[in-house]
Structure 1
């Protein structure tokens, strides 16, 4: 998508509600005990620009929110590896325009800038996207009832 702008959510806290709603709708089933207000507290606690955890957003040329992605320290319960690329989400109407790829690259660059040498992720739905972006498949697991692919990338 031409003129796509990737910025920290900290620069647009007015968009926290949309980011939280997207994440809750997409992944809330992975933690049925979590509530929307709890998720909002976690996102607000991640409004950093210089360290993990942090959240990035994608804005189109009209300044509309078209995607989000996060860097977190712990995304897979019980796994000691960190940090993780997490919560990459682009709504259906904005997909297939390079938004997710731009968000992933921005998160990789930020993790590198913060001094991390490796980044991890898990996905149930998009291993091919991450493989195209240079991510390596590590293992398949069942996590909270969902089949996932754990991947990593050297930064």
Structure 2
């Protein structure tokens, strides 16, 4: 199977898909309107000069999941940047290693742009990231629960 990763900067036709995924995975339960997230996603994709940048894993032309390279993803740690954020694999494609493919693809993109270290936070996927070589730095209380902050030297 041929997998490849593209940016929504270069493929804005993927914005409706990534916007829906972002809403479903990170904003729906907070009561945020889908149209608001889609507008935000369009703005993100048109920002060609910097971060954030969203990447989509494709199998042939089928989008399977996304991940974002972001700045300032965690308000309680403004000194830590940049971040791997919003890793999402569509439900029918979960459990097949696509999350790891997305992490590795984002790491490669970051290396190519001269980024030496990435950060992320997670509520429940520290084991996945540890398999990819990420190191847990600390666990802190945030919003309604505990999160693990992790780093990866590239």
Residue ranges of structure 1 left out of the alignment (5+ in a row): none
Structure 2 match to 1:57: 56
- The answer to which of 48-57 and 70-79 deviates more is 48-57
RMSD of Structure 2 on Structure 1 (CA): 2.0
Structure 1 match to 2:96: 97
Structure 1 match to 2:136: 137
SS of structure 2 residue aligned to 1:10: coil
CA distance in structure 1 between the aligned counterparts of 2:42 and 2:53, rounded to whole angstroms: 9
SS of structure 2 residue aligned to 1:149: strand
Moved over 6 A (4+): none
Structure 2 match to 1:40: 38
SS of structure 1 residue aligned to 2:67: strand
- Pair 1:50–1:3, CA change in 2 (3 A): farther
CA deviation after TM superposition for structure 1 residue 132, in Å = 0.4
CA deviation after TM superposition for structure 1 residue 51, in Å = 3.6
Contact 1:43/1:55 (8 A) holds in 2: no
Contact 1:8/1:49 (8 A) holds in 2: no
Q: Paired residues, what number?
A: 152
- The answer to which of 99-108 and 66-75 deviates more is 99-108
- The CA deviation string for residues 89-132 of structure 1, in whole angstroms up to 9 with x for no partner, is 00221012221111111111111222221100011121111000
**TM-score, normalised relative to structure 2:** 0.88
- The answer to which of 110-119 and 38-47 deviates more is 38-47
